[in-house]
């Protein structure tokens, strides 16, 4: 069965207000504490009978958490902050819909995660490409496997991917504004 609904601009505005509260909590909390709390929540929810669409969003949030923690990726501050805010929101049991309500308690969390996923789609794609590049590094390079050369090559790859993210974001903004996308 498929259930769908449309979230209006007013609804998105409401979610943004909720995220502002999470932003303040991120400023006051240690990043490692936020991630540790989120990991506990991931385990807690995975042991419940939460609907598949919620578990799917939580899996994606957990993947974004790995992006934040990945020292070789060095996630930029803006996207990093958005992921941390989503984690803070997810960890709050008394958010828009209290988590204790069976069946729908994590619905608002899933919506918030989906909004963050959409905002960070280019960053997520770039990270997935970086991770794939890193995991196949030794198969591709017969020489230059030493730590220093590897670190330089990963840094160069990361920079190219971040440039790609910026180009795609600029294209999306231009298209949203009704302007022709830049050609590069």
pLDDT at 93: 67
Residues 75 and 108 in one domain: yes
Residue 145 domain flag: yes
- pLDDT, tens digit, for every residue of 28-69? 788 888 898 888 888 888 777 777 888 888 888 888 899 999
Q: What is the mean pLDDT of the chain?
A: 84
Q: Give the structural domain span for 105.
A: 9-119
| 165: helix, strand or coil | helix
Residues of the chain under the 50 pLDDT cut: none
Distance of CA 85 to the CA centre of its chain: 10
Tell me the pTM: 0.79
What's the rounded Cα separation, in Å, for the pair 20 and 89? 10
Residues 108 and 131 in one domain: no
Residues 27 and 103 in one domain: yes
Residues 27 and 115 in one domain: yes
pLDDT at 1: 62
């Amino acid at each position: 069965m498929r259930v769908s609904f449309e979230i209006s601009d007013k609804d998105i505005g409401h979610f943004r207000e909720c995220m502002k509260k999470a932003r303040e909590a991120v400023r006051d909390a240690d990043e490692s504490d936020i991630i540790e709390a989120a990991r506990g929540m991931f385990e807690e929810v995975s042991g419940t009978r939460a609907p598949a669409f919620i578990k799917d969003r939580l899996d994606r949030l957990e993947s974004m958490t790995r992006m934040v923690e990945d020292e070789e990726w060095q996630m930029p501050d803006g996207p990093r902050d958005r992921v941390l805010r989503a984690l803070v929101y997810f960890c709050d049991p008394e958010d828009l819909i209290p988590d204790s309500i069976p069946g729908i308690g994590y619905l608002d969390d899933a919506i918030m995660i989906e909004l963050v996923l959409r905002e960070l789609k280019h960053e997520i794609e770039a990270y997935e490409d970086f991770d794939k590049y890193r995991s196949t590094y030794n198969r591709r390079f017969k020489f230059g496997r030493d730590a220093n050369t590897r670190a330089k090559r990963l840094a160069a790859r990361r920079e190219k991917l971040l440039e790609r993210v910026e180009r795609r974001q600029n294209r999306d903004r231009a298209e949203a504004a009704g302007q022709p996308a830049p050609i590069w």
